[in-house]
Chains A and B, each alone.
Chain A
Amino acid sequence: MFLTLLADIAWAIMGAGIGAGLAAIGAGIGIGRIGGSAMEGMARQPEASGRIQGAMLIIAALIEVAALFALVICLLIWTLG
């Protein structure tokens, strides 16, 4: 019974690791798309590049928070396990 308990904790911690990795992928895809659109917009209209850059930073922060939310949950699983 003790061994099955250890195995459960091992599964949970592996799940936490995989979850953190998936969160990083999600953040990467989201911020990459934002960056790509921002680059395209700045190339089309260089005069607006200041405003585009400002909006890009803010939206990147919002997406990053979503990924960090998943990261915090994975850390919680690791520390409780």
Chain B
Amino acid sequence: MTAFSLKIRLFSTLLTVLFLAIFSTGTMAQEAGQGHVDEHTEELNVSKVIIDHVLDDHVWHFTDNAVLHLPVIVYSKEKGLDVFSSSNFYGEHHEIVPYKGYKLEENKIYLQDTGESVLDLSITKNVAMLLINAALMLIIFLTVASSYKKNRLKAPTGIQSFIEPIIVFVKDEIVKPNIGHHYEKFLPYMLTLFFFILFGNLLGLLPGAANLTGNIAVTMTLAVLTFIITNVSGNKAYWAHIFWTPGVPLPLRLVILPVEIVGIFTRPFSLMIRLFVAITAGHIVLLSLICLTFIFHSVVVGGVASLIVLFINLIEILVAAIQAYVFTLFSCVYVGMATAEHEHH
């Protein structure tokens, strides 16, 4: 064995150990910070810990002491625009105090005197995660594009050699077979969709990260975008098929009409629910297994739970990729159905 191959084996072994260590202990360290505050006899409210972890928050908890108080940006007709740090909402003993006429109830901000809700444009955990995701995508793809231009006649190197096969996979396996001709019009959106969901899912699995694609508002936005693109690019055959199904007797057409109209909306709805449920349920399963250790207060259970959590984390990485693939695939199928050329019956 040459010295070079030995170096590669050492490097890959190191990388594997680091990878396994991060995914099995990182989440446990974070949970240990959140669980016990003062006394050892305090009961651990498992469901609260799990729900707090998968939902959005104004404060980003890394450990019990290392928290990041994200800015609060609220607008209301009575008080106008207000920008302040969310640390103002927490008193000395981590209890929630009202501030400047606003109060925080169940992580939502209301006006203190009237109890009305305000327009909340804060940078919360999920918004910060979304910005990180966008920045990551910009960095990676601008690099790939520039190296594609520089290496025009040479073999790809560096990150281009990692990303380019995935782009070609999305183009040739997902977009082209399902949309057919004119697929170039939809290719940028489908590629962005695929990589946004993929990076969002994978980033959410890192220790201390926020649950970005498990937020139903994010998945609803992606589904609404697909809905808009599908229906704006629908051609006459598509709309004729929905409202006046050809080749079917007249009474049946009136029965099919409401079904088809509801069908326009259930397709993006299913896209939204599928991604949200897959990612959120994965996080909930992981957190439940980690909390098992803290319910039993046993090191043996901790060791076994760590191994199971590691295994399920690897499955979650697979699920992250599969859910990105499935979302993009179904989006392409719907766009393909909307832009299909009229077949002669």
**Residue in A61, A62, A68, A79 whose beta carbon sits within 8 Å of that of B47 in the complex:** A79
Residue B284, interface by CB 8 Å = yes
Nearest-CB residue, chain B, relative to A80: B47
Q: Is the CB of A57 within 8 A of B322?
A: yes
Nearest-CB residue, chain B, relative to A78: B47
Q: Is the CB of B319 within 8 A of A61?
A: yes
A24 to B51, CA, bound (A): 21
Across-interface contacts of B277 in A (CB, < 8 A): 65, 68-69, 72
Contact string, B257-300, partner A, CB cutoff 8 A, digits 1/0?
Answer: 00000000000000001100110111010000000000000000
Q: Is the CB of B278 within 8 A of A64?
A: yes
Across-interface contacts of B281 in A (CB, < 8 A): 68, 71-72
Across-interface contacts of A42 in B (CB, < 8 A): none
Q: Is the CB of A61 within 8 A of B326?
A: yes
A61 to B325, CA, bound (A): 11
Contact string, A30-61, partner B, CB cutoff 8 A, digits 1/0?
Answer: 00000000000000000000000000011001
* Chain A: interface residue total (CB-CB under 8 A): 13
A68 to B325, CA, bound (A): 18
Nearest-CB residue, chain A, relative to B280: A72
* Chain B: interface residue total (CB-CB under 8 A): 16
Chain A at the B interface: mostly helix, strand, loop or mixed? helix
Q: Known: A69-B273, A79-B51. Contact between A61 and B280, CB under 8 A?
A: no
Residue A75, interface by CB 8 Å = yes
From residue B46, how far is it (CB to closest CB) to chain A in Å?
Answer: 10
Q: Is the CB of B47 within 8 A of A65?
A: no
From residue A37, how far is it (CB to closest CB) to chain B in Å?
Answer: 19
Q: Is the CB of A58 within 8 A of B47?
A: no
A64 to B274, CA, bound (A): 10
Across-interface contacts of B318 in A (CB, < 8 A): 57
Q: Is the CB of B284 within 8 A of A75?
A: yes
Residue B215, interface by CB 8 Å = no
Q: Is the CB of A58 within 8 A of B274?
A: no
- B317-336 contacts to A (CB < 8 Å): 318-319, 322-323, 325-326
From residue B211, how far is it (CB to closest CB) to chain A in Å?
Answer: 13
**Residue in A61, A71, A78, A79 whose beta carbon sits within 8 Å of that of B322 in the complex:** A61
A69 to B273, CA, bound (A): 8
Centre residue among B281, B319, B326 by max chain A CB count within 10 A: B281
A65 to B282, CA, bound (A): 10
Query: 19 interchain pairs (CB within 8 A)?
Result: A57-B322, A58-B322, A58-B326, A61-B319, A61-B323, A61-B326, A62-B274, A64-B319, A65-B274, A65-B277, A65-B278, A68-B281, A68-B282, A69-B273, A72-B277, A72-B280, A72-B281, A75-B284, A78-B47
A68-B282, A72-B277 known; 5 new pairs, CB 8 Å cut-off, are A57-B322, A61-B278, A62-B274, A68-B277, A68-B278
